[in-house]
Structure 1
């Protein structure tokens, strides 16, 4: 099948909310002012032109993405389906939209304990004293999510980033304990990522790629008998 790039670009402009409002509005359930979920996939949230299926760890922008990734359409089937509907679906010009307001952080449900999270982190080589210290400071907890459609229970390590001036949680990174899920809780603000603060003010920052890498780095500092809450540098050995 061949479709002109211009026409494909037009189909990709059809966002999921516009598509469902036109084709199956009863499938939508409003969660908040700007956020919807789908009744048969309640962990699939739609907001600000994007959708994210949290329990599976996939997401996208367009209805085309949704039809392929969630509904199981082939690319050819999805394009044909949208072509038949595209004349009736009207989408807004996002160029004229004001900057979206900050979204409220969706706080995942805390599990009754943190046992599996601790075991997982220790298996990843994280120092146990460091883990317990983070749990006491509410920087880490074990989250749990049950898919009401399948009955499957998913557990993750939740890494919390705070606005320390308030202080309130503004960011939550989730890492699957028994699967490869990686993602951020809906509404997370990356300007407040997970961090381990120094004891005293400093102009030195150690930046890591992921939340668990921060703990790995701190564990290495402890291994070198250094205080991870005090900004220090490793000795460098030249070969």
Structure 2
């Protein structure tokens, strides 16, 4: 009978899951965006990020390969320990250290001297509530880019350091994330202890939803709001913006999806519900009319 010593167990527990797959199963890893985070090919709701892993569809996670083999692959503790002991002895792994930094340097676009064009665009073309726009400008979440006069929406980390920005042209349909942006900190309006999270494809839709609430004198401060900064119709995995947000906000237990009324939006909503339904109370509430929430706001305003 194979014996496992305490020293063997200690070495086994040092093997994190990313190092395990980098050494023994690299084809299983699917990189997600520019940051050092991954999904697994055969468990596409299992995410590896910042040295940890989390299986969203089952609501379980951990750090080590030992945890993974027991909780995900169904090994007994003894079988998993023996397997990893032999693997480490016969093929010593090279430690892989995850990087928390984007590959590209992040720098906010230069700010214009005024926000006149952005204010005019959001209020008069997009029907966003003017008081909401003023509040975003005041707290640094929105400003007007110099030269281009784009609307720049900013996402912050836990220390209120800008980590993400996306730009929306005020004269064309152009929109994109700024270079070096960390999508884990996509634009959001949040309070740390809120239990309800509303999720949108774009910042404009997020602001449109809050504007609708303000139209009807509904207090929106008891919930939090997250923009995914776009979705891909060909990618059925969960957005890193949503997964990372939920990692950082453990109080969330209700999620309301307001993605677009198009094939990509409907498919993405279905994927999110399938992956998270065992952990969260999750509802799908696309706009009642129009393609997206901003369309619906315009309809209500009879714009």
Q: Could you tell me the TM-score, scaled by structure 2's length?
A: 0.40
Q: Could you tell me the TM-score, scaled by structure 1's length?
A: 0.50
